[in-house]
Chains A and B, each alone.
Chain A
Amino acid sequence: MMEIRYAKTHEWAGKEGDLYVCGLSEYAQDKIGDVVFVELPETGAEVEQNAPFGVIESVKAANDLYSPLNGEVAEVNTALEDEPELVNSSPLEDGWICKIRSDDESFAALMSEDEYQVYLKGQDE
């Protein structure tokens, strides 16, 4: 299984071949509720770690998506255009958002699974 690391803004990233797959964490999808729309970044767009690169809209709110990594968007999950609810039902697999061609450095800067769990405990207090 690929190693998944997390951003403070609740996006995850994991290496798949020479690209990094990114998505929204289990915790975040649960918090925002039923996802009704995902504004995906454009393929080829330059993205910067922690800078907004898309929007996720649920029935109760719209939130910016922040890029977990530096790099270039190589692929986006067009399935979300018709089935944005995949973010809720399968946040770590079918509900992935985009694939980024990135360096390992920005990936290493993210939190590990354990660190993220500790971070989440702080979020709910």
Chain B
Amino acid sequence: MSYIPHTADDRRTMLETLGLSTVKDLFTDIPEAYRYPELKIPDGLSEMDVKEKLSSLARKNHASEEGLWFLGGGLYRHFIPSVVDAVLSRGEFFSAYTPYQPEVSQGTLQAVFEFQTMVAELYGMDVVNASHYDGAASMAEAALMARRCKPGRNTIYLDEGIHPEYKEVLQTYLTGTDALLKEGPPGEDAACFITAYPGFTGEIKDLKSLGNRTHEAGALFIVHADPLACGILESPGACGADIVTGEGQPLGIPMSFGGPTLGLFATTKALIRKMPGRVVGQTMDASGRAGCVLTFSAREQHIRREKATSNICSNQGLLALAAAVYMAALGKQGIRETAQLIYNKGVYAASVLGSLEGFKVKTEGPFFREFVLTCPRPAREIADELQKKGIFPGLALDRFDGFPENDLLVCVTEMNSKDDIDSLAAALGEVSR
């Protein structure tokens, strides 16, 4: 086969077929002024110059490892053991595209099977799928699944404390359906009630009573749960959740400027056939050897097409593997200790920052990883000033509708030392004067 796609003859033949004489005639529908805009691209550079230019641009970035980092709000700085990257960068895992064609990719299938098993244990649920695009996509898929499970009920009720950006994603997913999105306790028309555990601003709710109220309304109880928080909190499954979704980024995945991340999705055995996404199961081959297979595929788009439970097939195989390696490396004890550290450090930070003159901790009751600190003046101003010194005190909440401008969302993880927290207190004390 020739590598030259079309010769002058080919082009002439194509134009003749179309009844045109020149290639330019193909573009007459585009207004003249926009047809051949002059591209303002500088001349080429040598490799050395390009590298220098890119590194000088890169130096303008501020990595979370440098300075003081208390910024959260959806993506979090956590410790990632080096074994995670070491396993991920193996060519067998790293280079393959959708590598788990049934039966031939036993390694990847087994890794996904282990991932599912560990997430199921953290969440206290029966089944977990092989992941979604991100946490918000998982939550939206859960809402769609609730509608399939509860025909005739078309309203999705949201608890307070759902991430404002997640709400936007939900709204996007529901566009074009007759589903409604409402905030507040579930009514008679509720397909489901969605709560976050912990909520967007860190608060931990009483899941059991929320679950009971939801089931009394005849709706499905959906919990968006942080997998690390589940290391010390009662699992959503034990509190009656029908579907659990989550953002898997805290499990060994770097923040990477906002993505890619990992959507977790779990449900009960009773609802498995309504669940979107791929599921890896374990079985025996003809000679009695254990093997992994994709299972429940009949719900999927390559078999059911227009009736598939979801037509978004992207999963995050490599990141699910990262999460599996992270969970395996830490083990049950390690995850519990990490969660405990995060909790303890958060409590310490709240007590230190809350006692600063003019500051007040707004979050009431128990919280995990994040809490709201009301500042004596607009939080954005304080954050902007401190950022110049390499201190990131948290997320100014005024970027979201309905949040007061003096509120700062402070995030504390196992990566923040006591010294870090004390330095932040000192810096906040200074700028507020």
Whole-angstrom distance between the alpha carbons of A62 and B298 in the complex?
A: 5
Which residues of B sit under 8 angstroms from A64, Cβ to Cβ?
307
Residue of B nearest to A59 (CB): B298
- With A57-B298, A61-B298, A62-B298 as contacts: A39 and B303 at CB distance below 8 Å: no
Please tell me the number of chain B residues within 8 Å of chain A, measured between CB atoms: 6
Q: Are B273 and A37 in contact (CB under 8 A)?
A: yes
Which residues of A sit under 8 angstroms from B298, Cβ to Cβ?
36-37, 57-58, 60-62
Which residues of A sit under 8 angstroms from B273, Cβ to Cβ?
37, 39, 57
Which residues of A sit under 8 angstroms from B307, Cβ to Cβ?
62, 64
Whole-angstrom distance between the alpha carbons of A40 and B299 in the complex?
A: 16
In the complex, whether B304 has a CB less than 8 A from a CB of chain A is: yes
B279-303 vs A, Cβ < 8 Å mask (1 yes, 0 no): 0000000000000000000110001
Whole-angstrom distance between the alpha carbons of A37 and B304 in the complex?
A: 15
Residue of B nearest to A64 (CB): B307
Residues 218 to 264 of chain B near chain A (Cβ within 8 Å):
none
Residue of B nearest to A37 (CB): B273
A62-74 vs B, Cβ < 8 Å mask (1 yes, 0 no): 1010000000000
How close is A78's CB to chain B, nearest CB, in angstroms? 14
A56-99 vs B, Cβ < 8 Å mask (1 yes, 0 no): 01101110100000000000000000000000000000000000
Whole-angstrom distance between the alpha carbons of A28 and B298 in the complex?
A: 17
Whole-angstrom distance between the alpha carbons of A58 and B296 in the complex?
A: 10
A7-38 vs B, Cβ < 8 Å mask (1 yes, 0 no): 00000000000000000000000000000110
How close is A116's CB to chain B, nearest CB, in angstroms? 26
Residue of B nearest to A56 (CB): B298
Chain A residues in contact with chain B, CB under 8 A? Answer: 36-37, 39, 57-58, 60-62, 64
| Further pairs besides A62-B307, A64-B307: 5, Cβ < 8 Å | A36-B298, A39-B273, A60-B298, A61-B303, A62-B304
Which 10 A-B pairs rank lowest in CB-CB distance, beginning with the nearest? A62-B298, A57-B298, A62-B304, A61-B303, A62-B303, A61-B298, A37-B273, A62-B299, A39-B273, A58-B298
